[in-house]
Amino acid sequence: MEIYDELKKKYEAIGQDVDVHLNGLLHAKPMNYWDFANTDALLSLQIQRTTLPDEMVFIMYHQINELLFKMILWEIEQIADKEDLAPAFFTKKLGRISRYFDMLSSSFVIMGDGMDIEQYMKFRDTLTPASGFQSALYRMIEFSSTELINLIDARFRDTIDRDTPFSHAFEHLYWQAAGKNFKTGKKSTMLTLFEERYMDDFIIFMKKYNTLNLWTKFKSLPAETQEDIGLINAMRHYDHTVNVLWVMDHLNAAKKYLESGKKTAEATGGSDWQKYMHPKYQKRIFFPELWSEDELENWGITNLEGHEIVESV
Ligand code: HEM
């Protein structure tokens, strides 16, 4: 009866008769796994463009990445939208976000060792000028993790401050370097198509997260929580996983394929990829205030334990 009364209240509030809804339940189908996980829809999305079997590995692993990106954004959004952000809530969500990115990083070997080089070098020709660079969710994770200034190309940081229009800041994001000639302003097809599709959405998203990103939210926590060594280490772990470990795992996988021939292959997206992709050149860091000067200087050169990071050959 207690439940009945609660249901009645719920339906009355929206002008509905609870008994009609309960009668409906008499005819409702039982729930199945394939219904709640939507497996039919999900498993119909793997469509190859070639006859090469390993293209399927490439497609599915990208889709798995997108799902994990979505899980990460789901947690970040909850932190962003929480009004009275309690330290325990922040720490719990950060733990989840971090575990998902650990998974992205440690699983990258699925790319590195999971496809035959000869097959990859054939099916990639059907993908030009697409690139993982064009993953919108990856960019949204960046915008929502840190202040915009930390995503600006280091060469232009002095020209940008809080009063700079978002559209101007956008033109100087570090990743413009993958496809823009800063002297002529000319952009690669990969970058132009990406911006045509997402720029407006990104500007709206950047505005929202300008004040609600993880770093700003961390700084809104009580002073003693910001000193909590466990939380600081969790923040550092996340920063390092996204911006050094994942980047290196990704670069090493790319090298394995693109350097497999007699001469180094061009990236499908067309960037000067070896230089562009290495963390020591990009030096993108979400929470620079949590790193020592020495650590900042050696970003992408040494790991968290101070050992040199080795590039695979
Ligand atoms: C063998 C597999 C892969 C290769 C050879 C590869 C290669 C590359 C290259 C060369 C770039 C530079 C941009 C360009 O295309 O010119 C790039 C960027 C990127 N790729 Fe991949 N990639 C691989 C797998 C993946 C996967 C599985 C993901 C997951 C979504 C991914 C996500 C990205 C992202 C987010 C960027 C932009 C990174 C940045 O701006 O620093 N890539 N990739």
CA–CA dist 3, 91 (Å, integer): 35
Clarify whether residues 80 and 227 are in a common domain.
Answer: yes
Clarify whether residues 23 and 168 are in a common domain.
Answer: no
Q: What is the CATH number of the domain that holds 204?
A: 1.20.58
Clarify whether residues 103 and 15 are in a common domain.
Answer: no
Task: Identify the CA nearest to 65 among candidates 138, 120, 133.
Answer: 138
Q: Does pLDDT of 309 surpass 90?
A: no
Clarify whether residues 11 and 145 are in a common domain.
Answer: no
Clarify whether residues 148 and 20 are in a common domain.
Answer: no
| Domain limits for position 92 | 54-297
CA–CA dist 198, 194 (Å, integer): 6
Q: Does pLDDT of 312 surpass 80?
A: no
Q: Is the peptide bond before 129 cis (omega within 30 degrees of 0)?
A: yes
Clarify whether residues 7 and 102 are in a common domain.
Answer: no
How many domains are contained in the chain? Answer: 2
Please name the residues in contact with 254: beta carbons below 8 A apart, sequence gap of 6 or more: 267, 273, 277
- Average the pLDDT over 243-259 and give the result: 95
4 half-sphere exposure, CB direction, 13 A CA radius: 5
Which ligand 1 atom minimizes the distance to the CA of 115?
A: 1
The model's confidence at residue 275, banded by pLDDT at 50, 70 and 90, is confident
Whether 175 is in the pocket of ligand 1, judged by its Cβ within 6 Å, is yes
Q: Ligand 1 pocket: which of 73, 100, 250 to mutate (most atoms <8 Å of CB)?
A: 250
Clarify whether residues 18 and 126 are in a common domain.
Answer: no
Numbers of helices and strands, H then E, in the chain: 18, 0
* pLDDT tens readout for residues 97-148: 999 999 999 999 999 999 999 999 999 999 999 999 999 999 999 999 999 9
- 37 assigned to some structural domain: no
Whether 281 is in the pocket of ligand 1, judged by its Cβ within 6 Å, is no
Kindly state the percentage of the chain with pLDDT values over 90: 87
The amino acid sitting at 187 is K
Q: What is the pLDDT of residue 313?
A: 56
Clarify whether residues 148 and 7 are in a common domain.
Answer: no
CA–CA dist 304, 100 (Å, integer): 19
The model's confidence at residue 210, banded by pLDDT at 50, 70 and 90, is very high
- 309 assigned to some structural domain: no
